[in-house]
Structure 1
Amino acid sequence: MNLTGLVAVSGKPGLYKLIGQNKSGFILESLDAQKSKLVVNMSTAKLASLEDITIYGEDEDLRLKDVFEAMKAFKGAVPEAKADGKDLRKFFFEVAPNHDETRVYASDIKKIVSWFHILKDLPIFSEEEQAVAEVQEVEVVEEEKPKATKAKEAKPKAEKAAKAPAKKATKKEA
């Protein structure tokens, strides 16, 4: 599952895809059928990347990505977000049995279920293998390039630095 670039905006329903940035904030595109674009101010809006979201667990926190994977693999039907809180809690214990019942509220579960229903129709669940392979290739290529360019850039700077004081010294002598 590839959650890269997907964010939730505080005070706004739904999920958004980060498509760019300008001087005043981030440019987002909604993941619903309308695909509306939105510019959020960096100083007033809070963005939460879905990759970074964790859920309180009894022993350790659970990653949202792992919970979504469990929801996808769930054999029964995933309830709607408007379902009864007790039904949602029962469902959530099946997909995330180690979550902390006292710190994970029914509203949190409703939000996670509604996000899952938005994402289940998108090709996000099948993107993982391609994205991970591409990221690994890009990291290898990027690691090699900066080392070579730094070495090339260092030589001209050192030569310029060596020549510059010599020129100044000759001007002072004259």
Structure 2
Amino acid sequence: MNLRALVSVTGKPGLFKLIGQNKGGFILESLDDKKIKSVVNLSTTKMATLEDITIYGEEEEIRLLDVLNNIKENGGTIPDVKADGNSLRTFFREVAPGHDESRVYSSDIKKIISWYAIIKDLPLFNEEAPEPIQ
């Protein structure tokens, strides 16, 4: 799976694709509505690639990439983000076994579910991540 160009921006809902860079910062395209483009200045905004995001685990951190793959392998069926906390937690126990239930909140689970809903139809699951540059 190749999530290298997909980012989450603090304070902005949804996901974005990094499409370029200029003097003002990074140019992002919204994955929800591909027509919306914005420039994000890193000195005032935090941004993280989905590839680098991890989830608190009981023993070790769990990569978001692994959780998204587990959702896909379990048929890709996700609960409604408005479902009750117990339903969300039950679902998350299946796709992220070993996550730290005291530090992973329902809001975190909802965010991951909404991210999966955005990217599930994109060809990302069939792409290999590029090798890191050394």
| TM-score, with structure 2 as normaliser | 0.92
1:55 Cα offset (Å): 0.2
Larger Rg: 1
Structure 1 residues 82 and 105: alpha-carbon distance in aligned structure 2, compared to 1, 3 A threshold = same
> Counterpart amino acid of 1:127?
E
Q: C-alpha root-mean-square deviation of aligned residues, in Å?
A: 1.7
Runs ≥4 residues deviating over 3 A: none
Query: Once the 2 structures are TM-superposed, how far is the Cα of residue 121 of structure 1 from its aligned partner?
Result: 1.1
By how many angstroms is 1:32 displaced?
A: 1.8
Point out where structure 1 has 5 or more consecutive residues left out of the alignment: 144-174
Instruction: Point out the structure with the larger helix share.
Output: 1
Pairwise CA distance, 1:42? 1.7
Deviation, 1:76, is: 7.1
User: Which runs of 5 or more residues in structure 2 are unaligned?
Assistant: none
Contact 1:24-1:42 within 8 A present in 2 as well: no
| Contact 2:9–2:15 under 8 Å retained in 1 | yes
Give the Cα separation in 1 of the matches to 2:35 and 2:121: 14
The residue number in structure 2 matching 1:93 is 93
Matched residue, 2:45: 45
* Pairwise CA distance, 1:3: 0.4
Q: How many residues align?
A: 134
For 2:86, the aligned partner's letter is K
The 8 Å contact of residues 16 and 31 in structure 1, kept in 2 or not, is answered as yes
- Quote the offset at 1:97 in angstroms: 1.3
**What fraction of aligned residue pairs are identical, expressed as a percent?**
65
2:63 paired with 1:63: yes
Q: Which has the higher strand share?
A: 2
1:132-171 matched pairs, under 5 angstroms: 132=130, 135=131
The answer for the alignment partner of 2:109 in structure 1 is 109
Q: Distance in 1 between matches of 2:42 and 2:96?
A: 33
Q: Which amino acid aligns with 1:61?
A: E
Residues 19 and 29 in structure 1, CA contact (< 8 A), matched pair in contact too: yes
